[in-house]
Amino acid sequence: MTFLHPWAIVLGVAAAAVPVLVHWLTSPRPVRMPLSTIRFVREAVHERRSWRRLRDIILLCLRTLAILLIALAVARPQWGQPRQVSDLQQGDAVRVVLLDVSQSMAARAGPVEQIERARTVAAEYLRYRPGLVADLITAAVRPQAVFDVPSTNFDALRDELARARVRPERLEVNRALDQAARLLTPAGPNDHRRRELVLVSDFQRSSWGGANFGPLPADVRIQFESVAPRQPLANLAILRVEGRATDLSGSTQLAVDVGNYSPNDRKVTVELSAGDLRWRLSGTAPAQRVTTLTEEIGSRQIGWQPGEARLSGVDDALPADNVFPFVLHGRPAPKYALLTRQLGGRRPTSSLFLECVLAPTGGKGRSKGAANAEPAVARLDPRALDRAVVSASHLILLDHPGKLSPETIQLLADLLRRGRPIVYVASEPIDATNLKRLCESAGSGLQLPVEFLPPPVGQSRRDLVLASVRRGSAPFKVFGDNLTSLTGRLRFAGGISSRRLDTGLDSDILATYNDGTAALVLASSDAGQLAVLNADLAASDLPKTAAFVPMMSELIGQMLERGHRGGALACGDPLVAQLPVEAGSAAGLHVRGPALNPHERVDGFGQLVDEALGARWRWTSPGPPGVYRVERDGQTVLAAALTIPAEESDPDPLRSKELTDRLAIGRTAAYRGAADEGQSRDDFWKWFAMACVVCVVGEISMLLAFRT
Amino acid sequence: MTSRAISRFLDLLALSALEHMRFTTRRRAEGVFMGYHQSRSLGGAGEFVDFREYTGGEDLRRLDWKVFARTGKAFMRLHEEETNLACTLAIDASGSMRFGAASRRDARGSKLEYVQYLTTAMSQVIARSQDHVGLAVLNGSLGHWLPPGATASHVERLQEIVATLDPQPSLQMAHALRELFERSRRRGVLLLASDFLMDDLDDVFGVLRLFRHRGWDVVVLHIVHPNEERLPEGVAYRFDGLENEGRVNCSPADIRTLYEQRFGAHLAMVRQLALAGGCDYRRVSTSVPYLQTLRGFLVDRAG
């Protein structure tokens, strides 16, 4: 409890002596009289004294209490944590109210959405007071301030506050704090106005956990106004829907991630629909966990197929995330270009091993029943490269390619940047040179985590074993608990040396040999991916083990899927999508939104532009959620599903101590939660004044009842 | 009998109205000289009243020989003697008897002054009847003691002592009464004038019962001031005890009823103790003129 006018307490304590003084001053001067029967007087007084003393004590207490109560009322006590920002504080001030309008603010605690409660709280701070200028920031991915500088136009601020709506976006809290810092920066050295920042939000842990208050001026008073209820909200959400090829033949597994952000396990049922197809996935979602429900759906229909997943029979805090748009992309049977100087045939060479992995049925791909079908694997000699075949293939493999010509390198680099995955099996020293030139041609978009070098002269690369692998990443994830037993027996030979580069990502190194050189690297290059398998397959025992086919299938399948997944993009995050090569130029392309209205304007869904690598779809502020399609003449060339960011589904809020003592450490900050409204009150002075009146009335009643 | 009015409390003119009245006792007196009171002894010198059969050992001089000769039976002749009375006036001279005084040095209006007037007049009445009158001043101890006497000088001395009484704070009277009891050799009348505001009330009446047991006629005059019966009006008073009892601050209105109850209980208790001890009890209010009180007393005693 704090006091607005503490001096009144001191005055009240001093004034508490007044009743005693008054009692002494107003007590009648006794008349002295000798009395023979004083014994009877004394006995009577003793008998009466208890009553008299009780009456006097009560009267004195009531008088003293009345004075103390009136002093307390004047002191204006404030219960709970005092607000750092209040209209009771006088003086000039600059105030910025930051209102969280991210998707989580649509969560309901009872019948009211959190945004409505937040609007009411924010309105308390946007009232006119002399000397106060204010501004309002509605914050999601991109914060938007009503005025460029704080203003006294409170009517406009309140109008904007009334118009504020929840956006299906996540909260970029640091971007919002940066904008608040700009608004609160003093105009000059003589600007000594008080600076106040009011943050009205549900303070989701996922959004506010990384908040940085450093850019704010040091003297800013921060008031955290939480609208999250005391009891955490229970929410179920679909976080991801993905159609994933389980093998190179095109069989697809539908995976749905369901997040259960409630204290109890829940049985969930997800109904999916894509075109005429319907699926129903059921399972149990453990509390505070993300559960993946899967369903084998066979081969996908070729082309882009929009769909929608919906949680059935769920009544939770945030209904918006119970529906999840997704896109399935059915691709034709992949074609591979195998660039090698090794001759074909049945001789066991490394290229043959790769060919067996890519086309286990003898190069006829999936349509083995069609006699005139094109072979799935085109074995090409890099010295006489058919550029058309290479460009038409879905994945390019290089094994013992020898020294590649600059034209070939440039072709590969171009294809890589435009999304064509490349698998390079590095087994000869010349491969180090090829990779180096490929990286140089691909430009800065390709950052390998290691630099491949020819092995030192005299060094024998034999009996290499895998020292470390990324168990949770493809292609090793598929082995699960058997990974150690499988990889422990593998012996590798050949390959080239490597040196770690600071510019690359550690996560791109998927496996490392016991000599420290990289065994498997997977790096992105613009739209494509480059995988380098550093081994001579013919000299290694990997192709002779059962791990070879699934490992290579997983690696190649993942690389193929990356370009055809369609993908789920978060609403609000800037969208830059590279259109497929077959999409052609941007002219004639247009974007259709989820409303399926053929007359939708392209301008409303971003821009389609031609760039060096082909056509691109750019959209600064994408949304609302749904499936958006880029079409040419009614044919979809690309589809993307815009979804609510997954982090918005977790309603777990930060605790007050975490906000004030950890994130805003060193700042003058106060926290007030929605559940604390009853405690943090400053209108108790009325009750004290009323109690004072009661004391006075009680004193008068006592005097009347026990008058002498 | 002639007497010089040397005491300021002796008003002979006023007492002349009581000249025909005499202090009497309801019991037989044990005097030395002839007087107006029936003697306890039935000797042969007085007026014949009756016969009684002779029992062995009796004085043969009082045997009626004529009756014996005529009837052959021995009868004793009974004669009643009259003797004088010895009355001891015991005055409570404790501090509480100063209540009602005009000031600390001026005792006018006090209970003591009233008692001084009353006992002076009483002594005069008793002496006028050829009876002996004595004085005992009780203030913690036996302050003054004059054995009963009837001479003019004795009475003057007694009245002088009464006129010069100086009360002393004391809450004990039994000791003084016991001392008086031990000094008194002849039966008589004990007239005790007191307000009975003391701590040893039971002991006092215990000693009075000793007097009664010895055959004394004990008369208790309970002196009460009207201001004792009712507390004064006013908001606040500081009452000072007259027996060095300290002081009490109070508002009389708060305790008026309770005080009156307790004082009434005190009066009733004194009366009860007196009557239970065989004493003659008489409450005397100082609001009644002492001559009226004396007249009423004498009339009651006369029966």
C-alpha–C-alpha distance, residues A225 and A198, integer Å = 7
> How near does any CA of chain A get to the CA of B178, in Å?
24
Cβ <8 Å between B234 and A29 = no
Cβ <8 Å between A30 and B237 = yes
Confidence bin at A426 (pLDDT 50/70/90): very high
Most confident of A34-48, A291-305, A322-336, B111-125: B111-125
Q: What is the pLDDT of residue A598?
A: 54
Q: What is the pLDDT of residue A340?
A: 92
Round the average pLDDT of chain A to a whole number and report it.
85
Which of A29, A35, A45 is opposite residue B236, by nearest beta carbon? Answer: A29
Which of A28, A41, A45 is opposite residue B235, by nearest beta carbon? Answer: A28
Contacts of B251 in chain A (CB under 8 A): 28, 708
Order of all β-strands in the sheet with A575-578? A575-578, A614-619, A607-611
C-alpha–C-alpha distance, residues B71 and B57, integer Å = 21
Confidence bin at A477 (pLDDT 50/70/90): confident
| Residue bearing the bigger pLDDT, A34 or A20 | A34
Q: Which residues of A644-681 are buried (b: 16+ CB within 10 A; e: fewer)?
A: bbbbbbbbbbbebebbbeebbeebebbbbbbebeeebe
Least confident of A447-461, A586-600, B235-249: A586-600
| Residue bearing the bigger pLDDT, B161 or A245 | B161
Asked if pLDDT for residue A202 goes beyond 90, the answer is yes
Confidence bin at A486 (pLDDT 50/70/90): confident
For B84, residues 6+ apart whose C-beta sits below 8 A from its C-beta are: B29, B31, B32, B33, B34, B35, B36, B37, B130, B131, B132, B150
Q: What is the pLDDT of residue A595?
A: 64
Contacts of B234 in chain A (CB under 8 A): 31
C-alpha–C-alpha distance, residues B36 and A401, integer Å = 174
C-alpha–C-alpha distance, residues B127 and B106, integer Å = 29
- Written as six digits, the tokens of A438 are 């490929």
Nearest alpha-carbon partner for A288 in A319, A315, A256, A263: A263
Environment class of residue A230 by beta-carbon count within 10 Å: exposed (0-12), middle (13-18) or buried (19+)?
Answer: exposed
- Asked if B231 has any chain A CB less than 8 Å from its own CB, the reply is yes
Instruction: Please say whether the dihedral angle defined by the alpha carbons of residues B48, B49, B53 and B58, taken in this order, is positive or negative.
Output: negative
Rounded average pLDDT over B162-181: 91
Each residue of A122-167: pLDDT tens digit?
998 999 989 999 999 999 999 999 999 999 999 999 999 999 999 9
DSSP code per residue over B17-77? GGTT-----SS-B--SSEEEEEBS---SSSEEEEEEE--TTS-GGGB-HHHHHHHS--EEE
Rounded average pLDDT over A455-479: 85
Each residue of B173-183: pLDDT tens digit?
999 999 999 99
| Residue bearing the bigger pLDDT, A189 or B265 | B265
Which of A29, A32, A45 is opposite residue B240, by nearest beta carbon? Answer: A32
Between vectors from CA A442 to CA A436 and to CA A446, what angle results, nearest 5°?
80
Cβ atoms of A247 and A557 within 8 Å: the answer is yes
Q: Which residues of B194-207 are buried (b: 16+ CB within 10 A; e: fewer)?
A: bbbbbeebebbbeb
Interface confidence, given as ipTM, is: 0.82
For A106, residues 6+ apart whose C-beta sits below 8 A from its C-beta are: A113, A114, A115, A166, A318, A320
Least confident of A75-84, A116-125, A266-275, A460-469: A75-84
Rounded average pLDDT over A415-425: 88
Cβ atoms of A308 and A631 within 8 Å: the answer is no
Q: What is the pLDDT of residue A368?
A: 42
Contacts of A47 in chain B (CB under 8 A): 255, 258
Secondary structure class of A503 (helix, strand, coil): coil
> How near does any CA of chain B get to the CA of A61, in Å?
22
Which of A28, A38, A43 is opposite residue B239, by nearest beta carbon? Answer: A38
| CA atoms within 13 Å, Cβ hemisphere of A700 | 5
For A370, residues 6+ apart whose C-beta sits below 8 A from its C-beta are: A364
Asked if pLDDT for residue A193 goes beyond 80, the answer is yes
Cβ <8 Å between B96 and A36 = yes
Contacts of A45 in chain B (CB under 8 A): 248, 250, 254-255
Q: What is the pLDDT of residue A250?
A: 63
> How near does any CA of chain B get to the CA of A43, in Å?
8
> How near does any CA of chain A get to the CA of B38, in Å?
41
C-alpha–C-alpha distance, residues A494 and A427, integer Å = 6
Residue A544, Cβ neighbours under 10 Å: how many? 12
Contacts of A23 in chain B (CB under 8 A): none
Q: What is the pLDDT of residue A678?
A: 45
For A488, residues 6+ apart whose C-beta sits below 8 A from its C-beta are: A465
Asked if pLDDT for residue A364 goes beyond 50, the answer is no
Q: pTM of whole model > 0.90?
A: no
Confidence bin at A302 (pLDDT 50/70/90): confident
Which of A27, A39, A41 is opposite residue B250, by nearest beta carbon? Answer: A41
Asked if pLDDT for residue B279 goes beyond 70, the answer is yes
- Asked if B102 has any chain A CB less than 8 Å from its own CB, the reply is no
Rounded average pLDDT over A158-187: 93
Each residue of A107-127: pLDDT tens digit?
998 888 999 999 999 998 999
C-alpha–C-alpha distance, residues A307 and A279, integer Å = 11
Residue of chain A whose alpha carbon sits nearest to that of B111: A36
Note the Cα A242 to chain centre separation in Å.
19
Q: What is the pLDDT of residue A657?
A: 86
Cβ <8 Å between A41 and B255 = yes
B96 φ, ψ (degrees, to nearest 5): -65, -20
Contacts of B228 in chain A (CB under 8 A): 35-37
Q: How many CB pairs under 8 A join A and B?
A: 96
| Residue bearing the bigger pLDDT, A632 or A674 | A632
Asked if pLDDT for residue A504 goes beyond 60, the answer is yes
C-alpha–C-alpha distance, residues A520 and A507, integer Å = 11
| Residue bearing the bigger pLDDT, B212 or B50 | B212
Contacts of B233 in chain A (CB under 8 A): none
Least confident of A322-326, A604-608, B257-261: A604-608
Each residue of A524-578: pLDDT tens digit?
887 789 999 999 998 898 888 888 888 888 888 888 877 555 556 888 888 888 7
Cβ <8 Å between B237 and A40 = no
C-alpha–C-alpha distance, residues B247 and B249, integer Å = 7
Note the Cα B47 to chain centre separation in Å.
30
Is beta strand A568-570 parallel, antiparallel or unpaired with respect to A635-643?
parallel
Instruction: Please report, as a single letter, which amino acid is at residue A422.
Output: I
Instruction: Please report, as a single letter, which amino acid is at residue A298.
Output: G
Each residue of B287-296: pLDDT tens digit?
999 999 999 9
Helices A38-75 and A684-705, axial angle in degrees (round to 10): 160
Asked if pLDDT for residue A15 goes beyond 80, the answer is yes
Cβ <8 Å between A41 and B248 = yes
Q: What percent of chain B has a predicted confidence (pLDDT) above 90?
A: 44
Rounded average pLDDT over B165-191: 90
C-alpha–C-alpha distance, residues B14 and B93, integer Å = 25
Is beta strand A132-139 parallel, antiparallel or unpaired with respect to A614-619?
unpaired
Least confident of A415-424, A503-512, B5-14: B5-14
Which of B225, B248, B266 is opposite residue A38, by nearest beta carbon? Answer: B248
Interface probe, candidates A27, A29, A40, chain B, greatest B C-beta count within 10 A? A40
Cβ <8 Å between B96 and A44 = no
Instruction: Please say whether the dihedral angle defined by the alpha carbons of residues A392, A398, A401 and A406, taken in this order, is positive or negative.
Output: positive
Rounded average pLDDT over A462-487: 86
C-alpha–C-alpha distance, residues A697 and A106, integer Å = 51
How far, in Å, are A261, A272, A398, A426, A556 from residue A336 at the CA level?
Answer: 44, 33, 11, 18, 10
DSSP code per residue over chain B? ------STT--HHHHGGGTT-----SS-B--SSEEEEEBS---SSSEEEEEEE--TTS-GGGB-HHHHHHHS--EEEEEE-EE--EEEEEEE-BGGGGTT-SSSS--TTSHHHHHHHHHHHHHHHHHHTT-EEEEEEEESEEEEEEEEE-SHHHHHHHHHHHHT---B--S--HHHHHHHHHH--S--EEEEEE---SS-HHHHHHHHHHHHHHT-EEEEEEEE-HHHHSPPPSS-EEEEETTS--EEEE-HHHHHHHHHHHHHHHHHHHHHHHHHTT-EEEEEETTS-HHHHHHHHHHHHH-
- Asked if A54 has any chain B CB less than 8 Å from its own CB, the reply is no
Is beta strand B82-83 parallel, antiparallel or unpaired with respect to B34-38?
antiparallel
Q: Which run of H or of E encompasses A560?
A: helix A548-562
Asked if pLDDT for residue B38 goes beyond 80, the answer is no
Q: What is the pLDDT of residue A680?
A: 54
Q: Which residues of A326-339 are buried (b: 16+ CB within 10 A; e: fewer)?
A: bbbbbbebbbbbbb
Cβ <8 Å between A45 and B250 = yes
How far, in Å, are A242, A250, A323, A326, A636 from residue A272 at the CA level?
Answer: 11, 20, 10, 9, 21
Rounded average pLDDT over B39-63: 72
Rounded average pLDDT over A193-211: 92
- Asked if A45 has any chain B CB less than 8 Å from its own CB, the reply is yes
Q: What is the pLDDT of residue B295?
A: 92
Cβ <8 Å between B254 and A29 = no
Contacts of B97 in chain A (CB under 8 A): 36
- Written as six digits, the tokens of A385 are 């490269």
Least confident of A364-378, A625-639, B229-243: A364-378
Instruction: Tell which B residues from 261 to 280 touch A, by Cβ distance under 8 Å.
Output: 262-263, 266
Q: What is the pLDDT of residue A366?
A: 43
> How near does any CA of chain A get to the CA of B241, in Å?
5
- Asked if B254 has any chain A CB less than 8 Å from its own CB, the reply is yes
